[in-house]
Structure 1
Amino acid sequence: MLAYLARRIVLALPIMLGVALVCFALVHLAPGDPLVSILPPDASAELQAQLRQLYGFDRSYPEQFAAWLWRALHGDLGVSIATNRPVVGEVLKAVVNTLRLAVVATLIGFALGGLFGFVAGYFRRTFIDRLASMLSVLGVSVPHYWLGMVLVIVFSSQLMWLPATGAGPGGSDDWAWDGAHLQYLLLPALTMSVIPMGIIARTVRALVSELLDQEFVVGLRAKGLTSFGIFRHVVKNAAPTALAVMGLQLGYLLGGSILIETVFSWPGTGFLLNSAIFQRDLPLLQGTILVLAMFFVLLNLLVDVLQTLLDPRIARG
């Protein structure tokens, strides 16, 4: 187990380096001047040269990448061009807000998706199977930004049950897990949970349906095992694959959704990325993308380890 874990960590290191390189390249290949948001229209050439030297834009791309990567390894992602504040503080604050949203969306999506999938797979070719499958397909197909706007119209504008935007009565700085703050969290969490719910439901349904046709289930029935006992064995065999899908979906949720967080004005990583793109704030943009990508790589590593604990055959393979 330790050897497998060490091998996975070693394999993750070049992936992280490649992610950092791709992140830097994509951000700098985008058209536009990164200093346009802070330079006055009549800025002199001398002022432009001073600012480019200050932010390191006067050096070649390899030199900029090496300097940025070295600072990032020491926890320094630079200074935001738009706000003149450290990028690390801005990103960490947004990540915390997205984590709050992702945790609630994860609980909703995983619980409903797993329930629909197991029920549909266990009651194959019945009305329950068709209903659960229809709900999962609908969840994957409906545009989540459109669903978010519909929920705002229904529950905020018409019924006035829940607030439409924001992250709490006093913003996200004084967040508490109470009813007043959870009201702001409910609509974006429901919207964000729809897609992973549909994907997980379809995956679990296919797994359960396939497992029920295997010979070991026939043998368990022949031995007189109860339906609940068979269900436990099916869940245990379906868990590694379902866990891998859930881990990927959690990574997407941690990455946030630019459209969902923009619709609800939720101050998370998606909203921060949206602001950085429109302001052409390169340090903030590449810092946010790097942190989210590292989250995704580390989450996949964690899922691989958990899969090995559930199914030792993976490590032996």
Structure 2
Amino acid sequence: MRVYIFIISLFIAHYRLCAESGIGLRSPAGGSDFTFNSVPHTAHCINENNQRNSNSETVKLASNNPLKPVVSSSSKSSKVQGTVLISEIFPRGRVDQPEWIELFNYSEDWYDLQNWSYGTTEDTVLITDTTLLLGPGDFVVVTRRQDLLSRRYPLVRNIIQPPQWQAFNNSNDTLYLFSSNGQLIDIACYSSSWFRGWSSQSIQRTNMNLSGLDQRSWMLSEDPTPGAPNRTVTFNTPSLSLDIGPLPFKPNGDGKDDYLLILPQFPSQYTAQITIYGFDGREIVSIEAPNNAALLWDGLCANGRTISPGPFFVVAEFTSTGGYKRYLRKKGVLWR
């Protein structure tokens, strides 16, 4: 089984040979250029451990660190703003349910909310003075009374009560979220004139692409969802794609369509594992795909055996730095 990795460029079609072959993964005879769909390329070969040599770019993970990556609240990165959002507001507290706001980590990073603060146009108060990690896609509910909210929503675990509470206006207000160094993270507002029949419902953010100041971002919810996804949410997702070709491909050694090109594309905060399965669901070969790279498959199993002609599936497993997985699948056909 031979798999080749190509660094992709929109303007460059030729690539430099970077590694010699390893057991079961061999470069073309003599290591020379070969033709794929009439475009000359030179392969980036990989060894039996799916490792490229030190001259190539690789993504290294701190395998000796058991903690997920954490973005410090003191980071100067311009990407901080808008990554943790005010996603639901309950400003009209009752005897059995206190005021609360829900924060949602919209990013692929981890944040420590220690010494972060929230506030209104009147004042700003500390959320917590202890470590509070918020992972990708996680929620935390900030409330005036943790005991009352936990009693009403016993399944919600990530609830915090600040040392001091800044009350909300029942009709109109603007809420601010700041990092520990005073950087504005998010801003949201609401007005009773935006909603009909508003009594004791929560206000849910239904469009994460719009500003929290935009009326179109919010709607009333008869069933509040503190610490859980809102009923209807619109937001951007990272651009992930998988392309394969030619279809069918014919690894018969005649120099035409002998290799299947596999092109996964994904942002830098993702890794990709490419696995090829037979039509019967059995795994044929699997390899990690570097970012901005293409793979070529010669139609052999991992043990070097020839597979039978017929359909197969190429599955890309994309994993974000926060551990979220997304899958794309393409169907191919092998002829001989």
Indicate the TM-score class for this superposition, using the shorter chain for normalisation. under 0.3
**Which has more strand, going by share of residues?**
2
**Which has more helix, going by share of residues?**
1
Question: TM-score scaled by structure 2?
Answer: 0.26
Q: Give the greater-gyration-radius structure (CA).
A: 2
Larger RCO (CA within 8 A; separation ≥ 6): 1
Question: TM-score scaled by structure 1?
Answer: 0.27
